């Protein structure tokens, strides 16, 4: 062991510390820009707390497809992650590639929304958004893109309303919940979900957030160490604060949806078994006959490959493409790999259909 070198390097770090702290305080006390979701968009429809946003198209770009794309995000955290900052925006990249993009903002549910079920979210709010886009663009079908839980929503919606979906794109989307390698799946199986909902009403966003952080506790600490290491870098500080804003901006989840999602999907795994019922309608995955692009991260610890891959086998589509990417959960829609590889591939796939 090189004890002398280690002590010397600690000394060096300690000597550099005061200067670093001074720089950090100057940056943090100054005007750090940490605005998120800056891509211009217009609210074209809203109902209760849900809003449908239509991003302004890039004027010089020709549309690659007549059919618009509707992005559906999860009820956990907010869609702002897809538009983190100029130059690091999944949405901006899709617009740059020439897509016409809509997104659903689910808003912040309160105690009054605790009774909203999957049926309300899928057969009402999501359906209203789809109908609005269809009517505005005079098309019979739209392209649906779903992320994580939003992807699961889209899968169920497409199985129930196959006539309204032209192409289905799922990103980091779990459909098989009988997987032991993901901590969230293991924990969810142990929850007394009825008791939790009966007492709390909604699932508190902060509680969900702590569980997410507990999945990788060392990462949750290490990111602050890395932040401290790069604190004199204004651009990095800005991006870090934006990420933090996204992570801790956790809306509560409707209690009824939480009850159904955990009880029927995580605990009983009914979706992939074709035994899920939404408002008495059976969700048959074989009803999904439109082209499917299923994108998953090989290192995704929240929705591991074993939970995403089986969708391709379960649907009735003949045109199925699976895209396995060397990244984790968030890396699919944030980061250079996402913008340079995944976005162009998604657009190329849509263009061909």
Partner 1 sequence: MDTDIQDKILEQMQRTGSLYFEWVQSIFESGQESSKDNWEKMVRQLSENVFGAFHEIAGKYLKAPPLGIYREIIQQLMETVDVQHRFTAEINDFFVKLSRPLGQSLKTLDQVFKSKDASNPSFKTSQEVYDFLSKCLEKEYDAYLKSPEGVQGVADLIHGYVAYREKVDGVKDIWLKSLSIPTTKEMADVYKSIYELKKKVRTQDQRIAEKKLDMKRLSDRIKMLESGANVKSGKKKSDG
- CB of residue 222 vs partner 1: minimum separation in angstroms? 6
Tell me if 5 contacts partner 1 by CB under 8 A: yes
Tell me if 6 contacts partner 1 by CB under 8 A: yes
Give the torsion sign (CA, 295, 301, 307, 310). positive
Q: Between 125 and 246, name the residue whose CB sits nearer to partner 1.
A: 125
Answer for which of 59, 62, 218, 336 binds partner 1 (CB under 8 A) is: 218
Taking contact as CB under 8 A, which single stretch among the options 37-45, 88-96, 211-219, 260-268 is the one that binds partner 1?
211-219
Taking contact as CB under 8 A, which single stretch among the options 86-94, 109-117, 285-293, 335-343 is the one that binds partner 1?
109-117
Tell me if 195 contacts partner 1 by CB under 8 A: yes
- CB of residue 8 vs partner 1: minimum separation in angstroms? 9
Tell me if 1 contacts partner 1 by CB under 8 A: yes
Q: Between 7 and 352, name the residue whose CB sits nearer to partner 1.
A: 7
Say whether 290 is catalytic: no
Q: Between 83 and 120, name the residue whose CB sits nearer to partner 1.
A: 120
Tell me if 183 contacts partner 1 by CB under 8 A: yes
Q: Between 181 and 348, name the residue whose CB sits nearer to partner 1.
A: 181
Name the region of 279 (left: φ>0; alpha: ψ -120 to 50; beta: rest): left
Answer for which of 114, 161, 164, 259 binds partner 1 (CB under 8 A) is: 114
How far apart, in Å, are the Cα atoms of 29 and each of 18, 20, 24, 226? Answer: 16, 14, 8, 19
| Contact present, 23 and 75 (Cβ < 8 Å) | no
* Calpha distance 139→129 (Å, rounded): 13
Answer for which of 21, 186, 228, 352 binds partner 1 (CB under 8 A) is: 186
Tell me if 216 contacts partner 1 by CB under 8 A: yes
Answer for which of 139, 207, 270, 312 binds partner 1 (CB under 8 A) is: 207
Tell me if 25 contacts partner 1 by CB under 8 A: no
* Calpha distance 85→35 (Å, rounded): 7
Tell me if 211 contacts partner 1 by CB under 8 A: yes
- CB of residue 141 vs partner 1: minimum separation in angstroms? 20
Q: Between 60 and 195, name the residue whose CB sits nearer to partner 1.
A: 195
Tell me if 227 contacts partner 1 by CB under 8 A: no
- The backbone torsions φ and ψ at residue 104, rounded to the nearest 5 degrees and listed phi first, read -100, 130
Q: Between 66 and 131, name the residue whose CB sits nearer to partner 1.
A: 131
Tell me if 64 contacts partner 1 by CB under 8 A: no
Tell me if 116 contacts partner 1 by CB under 8 A: yes
CB 337: neighbour CB atoms within 10 A?
15
- CB of residue 221 vs partner 1: minimum separation in angstroms? 9
Tell me if 139 contacts partner 1 by CB under 8 A: no
The single residue of 53, 104, 130, 148 carrying the catalytic annotation is 148
Closest CA relative to residue 90, chosen from 350, 337, 349, 351: 337
Q: Which residues are catalytic?
A: 148
Q: By the criterion CB under 8 A, which residues form the site for partner 1? A: 1-2, 5-6, 9-10, 13, 111-112, 114-116, 120, 124, 183, 186-187, 190-192, 195-196, 199-201, 207, 211, 214-219, 222, 225
């Amino acid at each position: 062991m090189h004890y002398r070198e280690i002590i010397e390097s600690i000394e060096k770090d300690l000597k550099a510390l005061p200067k670093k702290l001074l720089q950090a305080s100057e940056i943090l006390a100054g005007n750090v820009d940490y605005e998120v979701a800056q891509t211009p968009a217009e609210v074209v429809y809203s109902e209760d707390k849900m809003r449908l946003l239509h991003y302004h198209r890039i004027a010089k770009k020709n549309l690659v497809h007549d059919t618009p794309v509707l992005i559906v995000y999860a009820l956990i955290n907010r869609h702002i992650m897809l538009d983190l900052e100029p130059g690091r925006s999944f949405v901006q990249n899709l617009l740059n590639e020439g897509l016409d993009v809509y997104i659903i903002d689910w808003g912040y549910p309160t105690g009054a929304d605790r009774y909203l079920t999957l049926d309300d979210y899928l057969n009402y709010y999501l359906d209203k958004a789809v109908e609005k886009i269809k009517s505005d663009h005079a098309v019979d079908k739209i392209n649906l893109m779903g992320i994580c839980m939003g992807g699961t929503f889209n899968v169920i919606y497409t199985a129930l309303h196959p006539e309204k979906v032209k192409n289905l794109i799922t990103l980091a989307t779990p459909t098989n919940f009988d997987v032991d390698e993901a901590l969230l799946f293991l924990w969810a199986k142990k929850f007394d979900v009825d008791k939790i909902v009966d007492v709390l009403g909604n699932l508190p966003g902060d509680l969900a957030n702590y569980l997410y952080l507990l999945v990788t506790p060392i990462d949750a600490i290490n990111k602050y160490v890395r932040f401290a290491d790069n604190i004199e870098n204004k651009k990095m500080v800005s991006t870090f604060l934006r990420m933090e804003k996204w992570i801790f901006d956790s809306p509560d989840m409707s209690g009824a949806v939480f009850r159904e999602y955990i009880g029927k999907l995580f605990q009983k795994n009914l979706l992939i078994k074709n035994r899920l019922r939404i408002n008495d309608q059976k969700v048959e995955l074989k009803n999904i006959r439109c082209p499917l692009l299923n994108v998953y991260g090989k290192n995704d610890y929240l929705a591991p490959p074993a939970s995403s891959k089986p969708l391709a086998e379960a649907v009735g589509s003949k045109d199925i493409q699976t895209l396995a990417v060397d990244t984790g959960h968030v890396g699919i829609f944030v980061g250079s790999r996402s913008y340079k590889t995944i976005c162009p591939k998604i657009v190329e796939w849509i263009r061909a259909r």
